Every structure is written in structure tokens, then in C-alpha cells.
Structure 1
Amino acid sequence: MAHKIIYLTGAPATGKSTLTENLSQQLPDAVVFTYSKELLDCVQRRTKLISTQDDLRRESAKIITREDVQAVDSQLVALVNSNRGQRTVVVDSHPVTIEEFGFRVTPFTKKQLGGLAPDVIVCLYASPETIIERISKNAAGRPMPLRYEIDLHTQLQCQVASIYAMETGASLYYLNSSCSPDNLLCNLMSITGIGSPNNKQ
């Protein structure tokens, strides 16, 4: 099995966290970098105003600075390069966030994107109905978006994924995550070539 650098993205509630949790069970040697967790750690070192990821989601525009993002980006690139060719690395991230004023995008710089150099970019998407249902069951600090906001958020996230793929030459796949978690995991492992759910590597 070839070790890959996989950049996993998608709007909130498209199933990134569940997917990476399931993937970790199948590939225990894989490194999963959950951007929101690392960003929370970074912000907490600077301020005591945020204690949980729910707080971070609610107050992101007020609390998270460009310097915070760049610090975590640098940490990510270092982690990826220390594991490249030795272990599969999955980066769970979404640079587009919905805020009170609209949307905010905190992308990688060209240098950082070049350092990340993913082999595969996977962008999850789901129907507005699916996303609304998931947020209703577990808001986790996320406000309930309007339908047009869900559509726009998804489109913006897909655009960022496309730009990253064009800049790096990485393969790009859009996965419909409205399916079951097992099917989504199977689809991810199949397109990335990192194994199969029935065969732990």
C-alpha cells in the first residue's frame, strides 16, 4: 500500500470527523491531523476565552487571527513532511467558515500549499436536507444555516479545493457524503488507493 498525503475538506456537517474516526479504526498507523483541534490548542495558548471547539465555532471570527492560522499551517506542513513516504497522513480541514457577517476564507499561502503537496484532495458535499438534519441532531456550536447559505458554503469550499488541486497537481475527488458512513469510508479508501474497509493495512 502506497502512503498518501490526503487533504480532506468540505463544509461543516458533511461528515469529515466521522469519516476520519472510521478511517483511523481501519488504518491505525495513519496520521490524522484535525485542523480544528490543533487550532483550538493554538488559540488556547494565547487566550483563556475559548475552552472548547464549540466555543471556537461560535466565536471564530472574533478570536481566530491570521497569525493563529499561519502557525497551525506551519505545524501541519512540518508534520506532513516528517511522515511523507512513511505513513499515510489525512488532513481534516475546511478553510471556509460561516460568520455573522457572511463567510471567511483562511487559505494556505502558496509556499505552505507547496510544502503540503497533497497526493489527493477529497471534498465532501451533502444535500442541504442532510446537513440541516445533522446540525439539528448535533449542533456542536454551529448555528443553523439557511438553505442558500448551505449551498453557497458548499460551492465556496469546492472552489477552494479546485484551486488547491490546480496549484499542486493533486488528484481531486468530490464525494457525496449523504450516503452511509460505511459507504463513504469505502468510497474514500477506493479512490485514494489506501486499502479497503475489509482489509486493514
Structure 2
Amino acid sequence: MGKIIYLTGAPATGKSTLTERLAELSDQITVFTYSKELARVTSARVGLVSQSDMREQSAKLITYEDVGLVDAELIEMAARFKHKEGYLVIDSHAVTIESFGFRVTPFSKSMLHDLAPDVIVCLYADAQTLISRIKADPAGRPLPQPSELDRHVSLQCQIASLYAFETGASLYYQDASKSGVEVLQDFLQVSRIAISDSSG
């Protein structure tokens, strides 16, 4: 039976880097990158959209309907996955910084129960670490104020807590200011991903 692992955290906490390493680690691990799927759905509506475009324009570009379509695809994929062996790692975050403040596009209660994650991992880091990372590789991300980044991390952690309370999933807050190797090792430990010797 497949295991569902929900990975979340504010931008620049290293979710994409982590999932890229996970995908390379074993063919037992399937990664659903929410932003990539959202770019695909939004592109079908308005023309070609990159992840950088989404980071720059966010709520000006992405509608609740776009989010709903990706949500539905994810739930369908998770339902199929539960009948297979391996691990489905979902890379997503519900909170975005907007010109007006913050926007939250969370899963509904029914969707959470359909998704039924086994483990939730929320990456966090201090504002200065996030600022350094955004400056080094903006990738379309605006550079928020330290107070905004602190609030963003806090809000994303709150969403992770609510998801765990609602589903009963194990919840871990993982320090993402560590090196990439340490973050990967910590994630494998808390998510209890067991890699067989025959995996690629």
C-alpha cells in the first residue's frame, strides 16, 4: 500500500531542491510538484505560464478555479497511489505573499480526508536564511521584508498543524537552514521512507 507524504513550507525553505533529490534517490518515490501542475493548468487557460510568472504575479494570475483543478487531480492521483507500493511526496504550500498581504488556498476538510496523508513535514527557516536564498536565486520570487517572511513561515506552520489535526497524520517541523544533505537525511528519517537496495 502506498504512503502519502505531504511536504510544505514557505518559499525558499528548499522544498523543490529536496524533492528533486528524492526523485533521483529511488524509483519508489513519486513527486507531485504542485507549482508545476498549477503552471500547466493556468497555461491552458491564459497561454504559457512559467513558475517564475506565478511567483511574480501570484493572485493576479492564479484563480481559485485553477487551484481547484489541481486539487482534484492530486486527490485522484493519491487515490490510485494508495493501491500501489512506494511513496507519493506532495510538494505544496497553501500560503502566498500578495500585494495586499497573504492569501491562503487550503484544502477543504473533505479533500484532506480523501488525500489522507500519512505524514506531514513542514520546512522552516529564519528570515535571514530565506532572504539570502532568495537573493542568490530569485526565480521570480519577490524579496519580502524579514517580518513578512517570519509571518509567512508561521502561517504555513499553522496550516500544517491544522492539516495534521484534521487527518491524524504524523507532523514534523524540520529545520531547513541546515545543509541540503542534512535536510534530506532528516526528511528520510521523519517520513520513514525505506529505500530498498534494488532501487535506482
Q: What is the percentage of aligned positions where both structures have the same residue?
A: 52
Deviation at 1:128, TM superposition (A): 1.1
Deviations 1:177-199 (A, max 9, x none): 10011111101111111126x96
**2:58 aligned partner:** 60
**1:43 aligned partner:** 42
**1:77 aligned partner:** 75
Provide the aligned C-alpha RMSD in A. 1.5
Task: Please give the alpha-carbon distance, in whole angstroms, between the structure 1 residues aligned to 2:83 and 2:151.
Answer: 36
**Does the 8 Å CA contact 2:42/2:49 hold for their aligned counterparts?**
no
Deviation at 1:28, TM superposition (A): 2.2
* Matched position secondary structure for 1:164: helix
Q: Does residue 107 in structure 1 map to residue 106 in structure 2?
A: yes
**1:90 aligned partner:** 89
Kindly provide the amino acid, as one letter, of the partner of residue 72 in structure 2.
Answer: S
**1:177 aligned partner:** 176
Deviation at 1:85, TM superposition (A): 4.4
* Matched position secondary structure for 2:96: strand
Structure 1 runs of 4+ with >4 Å offset: 198-201
**2:132 aligned partner:** 133
Deviations 1:110-131 (A, max 9, x none): 1111110000000000111110
**Does the 8 Å CA contact 2:12/2:133 hold for their aligned counterparts?**
yes
Query: 5+ residue gaps in structure 1?
Result: none
Q: Does residue 144 in structure 1 map to residue 157 in structure 2?
A: no
* Matched position secondary structure for 1:89: strand
Deviation at 1:29, TM superposition (A): 2.6
Deviations 1:68-103 (A, max 9, x none): 111100100111111114221000000100011100
Deviations 1:152-180 (A, max 9, x none): 00000000000000000000000001001
> How many positions carry a matched residue from both structures?
198
TM-score normalised according to structure 1 size: 0.94
Distance 1:85 1:179, change over 3 A: farther
Distance 1:68 1:32, change over 3 A: same
Distance 1:175 1:85, change over 3 A: farther
Q: Does residue 124 in structure 1 map to residue 101 in structure 2?
A: no
**Does the 8 Å CA contact 2:2/2:81 hold for their aligned counterparts?**
no
Distance 1:200 1:24, change over 3 A: farther
